[in-house]
Amino acid sequence: MAERRRHSAGRYAWGVAAAVVLLGLAIVLSLAVGSKPLEAQQVIASLTRHGDDYVDAVLASRVPRTVLGVLVGAALAVAGGVMQGVTRNPLADPGLFGINVGAAAAIVTGIAFFGATVTGYIWLALLGAVVSVVLVYALGSAHGRSATTRIVLAGAVVTAVFSAYVQAVSLSLPEVFDAYRFWVVGSLAGRSLDQAWLILPFIIVGLVLAFLLAPGLNMLALGDDIATSLGQRPIVVRLLSGVAVAILAGAATAGVGPVLFVGLAVPHIARSVSGPDHRRLLPLCVLLGPVLLVLSDVLGRVIARPDEIMVGVMTAFVGAPALFIALRRLRGDRA
């Protein structure tokens, strides 16, 4: 048993080290690679204020999207890990709470009835995400207890209702559709550091809360009865998990639009190294989430030169093979 624990700890340490290296490589590639490739020395010179105007201008557009890619990737990956833990559903992701569609409904409402502009999308999306989580918990709770199955069904109901609302409003009002369609794809392009600063406090709070909930999520995996006998309160863990997911996924969606698959794929990839312990899983998600999102953004810029493919599309192409490999390894480990 002791030897197995040492092997597991060593494997996790190597996994964390590899994730750190991959994250550094992804950040360098995001700054250097694109429709206008830059050499490493050009990037370093510009970052140290010794570059020329052309390099400075290129980096001025790449730094914000790289920073946002790191923040959003970490937020979505951790939100997915918490969702899979609290629902005990390996296919769960932040969309299960209707967060993406809730944010979309709030933005469509703001555009259609209040003349909202891009600068107001962040607050509208965050508000819509929080409202979705509140509705899901309100519908999924009965007699003070939240059952996993009821929460999942409530999430499906809220998603269906908000989706119908978004389609009805956006298709009925052409000006709403024109503004909404650029946001709904999910993209890091055209974002500024101001948006990163706006969502950063929310993501920090969400990450801290998620890490504090890691022991409780481990207990929930044993079942509500066992968790209660060990001193945990499942309803409190579920409620606070919903708050953490709403903050993380809401802030991420508010910053760059809906980006799918990161919250589903990354926890599975991380779990193949960390095992089921959320105290190890969530920190690894913080590292691997940005790797997937930033590398997806880089590939989207490269393969469609001089144009680019939105990162919301690329994450599915990049993440699907990695998720397939991780699931095969997990199945092999359990056999």
Look at residue 30 and tell me if it is in a domain.
Answer: no
How many Cβ atoms from other residues are within 10 Å of residue 1's Cβ? 5
CA distance 31 to 156: 39
The answer to whether 62 and 94 are in contact (CB under 8 A) is no
Cis peptide before 290 (omega within 30 of 0): no
* pLDDT at 136 (0 to 100): 84
Q: Torsion over CA of 235, 237, 242 and 248, rounded to 10 degrees?
A: 170
Q: What domain range is 276 assigned to? A: 62-334
CA distance 175 to 334: 53
> H or E segment at 254?
helix 234-256
d(CA 309, CA 240): 36
d(CA 171, CA 313): 22
Say what the pLDDT of residue 129 is: 85
Residue 155 lies in a domain: yes
In a domain, 46, yes or no: no
Which domain CATH number covers 77? 1.10.3470.10
Note whether residue 54 is domain-resident: no
Q: What is the pLDDT of residue 89?
A: 77
User: Number of folded domains in the chain?
Assistant: 1
Q: What is the pLDDT along the chain (335 residues), one digit of tens a residue?
A: 555 566 577 888 899 999 999 999 999 888 888 767 676 677 666 667 666 666 777 777 888 999 999 999 999 999 999 988 888 877 778 877 788 889 889 988 998 888 877 777 778 888 898 898 888 878 876 554 556 677 778 888 898 999 999 989 988 888 888 777 777 778 888 788 888 998 999 999 999 999 999 999 998 887 777 777 777 788 888 889 988 998 998 889 888 888 888 998 899 889 988 888 999 999 999 999 999 999 999 998 888 777 788 888 888 787 777 667 666 655 555 54
8 Å CB contact between 268 and 327: yes
Q: Is residue 5 part of a domain?
A: no
Decide: 221 and 276 in contact? Cβ < 8 Å: yes
Instruction: Please tell me the distance from the alpha carbon of residue 235 to that of residue 223, in angstroms, as a whole number.
Output: 12
Q: Residue 230 falls within a domain, yes or no?
A: yes
Task: Look at residue 161 and tell me if it is in a domain.
Answer: yes
Q: Is residue 164 a part of any domain in this protein?
A: yes
Confidence (pLDDT) at 327: 63
**E strand or H helix that includes residue 141:** strand 141-142
Say if pTM beats, i.e. exceeds, 0.85: yes
